[in-house]
Amino acid sequence: MIDSLLLNLEQHDLLTDQERDILRRILGRERRFLAGEDLVVEGSRPGYSSLLVDGFAARYKLTAEGTRQITAIHVAGDFVDLHAFLLKTMDHGVIALSPCHVSLSDHFDLKQVTEQHPHLTRMLWLDTLIHGSIHRAWIVAMGRRSKVSHLAHILCELYVRLGVVRRTNGWAFHFPLSQGEMADVLGLSLVHMNRVIQTLRRERLISWSNHTITILDWDRLQEVAEFDPTYLSLSVEPR
């Protein structure tokens, strides 16, 4: 059930058999969510953190006018709210963008891990640090890249992250988000979002149909995105 998490963590450093067993033990409870349901509600104080076993989810904030900004896309193998263990009160929501399968870890169990297993603690800490790196990359893309480059960067990143947890098929990957949801990622109107997607299609960098994105020219897509995966820390080394 937690194979995606193990694949994710072991992209950065090897885990011992004991550490794998600990993760299996503390992530025993399961929940399933329909697309559009909140995995975590803004303002709540969850007593557990949620591992996304399968599906796509997003962190988001709503403005006073009711508009939504998606601030992160989560894929299988991601702890969507590990930070709630220490922050306590959630300052944003996490929504299912597709049917989601989630495994839960009580904060009491996570506290025991931090007190008894320092290497595993560092690995979970690294997971939150990488999400921070992703967030910084998104801010740079939103503030300083063209919208075409911004979308290209997100697609490059998702392809690499999904590849780590074996959710790609050659140069293709399942991507259930609508254009409206992607507009909430890039901070665009739906009309402008469509134009950005059409640009990548017209340049024959991607195809996007039936909830599947296929990368047609990886080198050129990386060039348009100015994509450098260093921020994803994809090297196995002692942590």
Cα 176 off chain centre by: 14
Tokens coding 213: 């994105």
What per-residue confidence (pLDDT) applies to 1?
A: 79
Helices 147-164 and 118-144 pack at an angle, to 10 degrees, of 160
What per-residue confidence (pLDDT) applies to 28?
A: 87
Tokens coding 130: 């990488």
pLDDT surpassing 90 at residue 151 = yes
User: 119-150 pLDDT, tens per residue?
Assistant: 999 999 999 999 999 999 999 999 999 999 99
Instruction: Determine the average pLDDT of the residues in 30-49.
Output: 96
Amino acid at 101: H
φ and ψ at 157, to 5 degrees? -60, -45
For the chain, state the CA radius of gyration: 18
Q: In sequence order, which ranges of the chain are alpha helices (DSSP H)?
A: 3-9, 17-26, 84-87, 107-116, 118-144, 147-164, 179-186, 190-202, 218-225
Q: What percent of the chain has a predicted confidence (pLDDT) above 70? A: 100
Query: CB under 8 Å to 213, separation ≥6 — which residues?
Result: 155, 159, 172, 173, 175, 206, 207
User: 188-230 pLDDT, tens per residue?
Assistant: 999 999 999 999 999 999 999 999 999 999 999 999 999 999 9
- 79 pLDDT tier (thresholds 50, 70, 90): very high
Q: What is the pTM of this model?
A: 0.95
pLDDT surpassing 90 at residue 16 = yes
Instruction: Determine the average pLDDT of the residues in 71-84.
Output: 96
40 - beta bridge partners?
94
What per-residue confidence (pLDDT) applies to 44?
A: 95
Q: What share of the chain is helix, strand, coil (3-state, %, to 5)?
A: 45, 20, 30
- 35 pLDDT tier (thresholds 50, 70, 90): very high
Mean pLDDT of the chain: 96
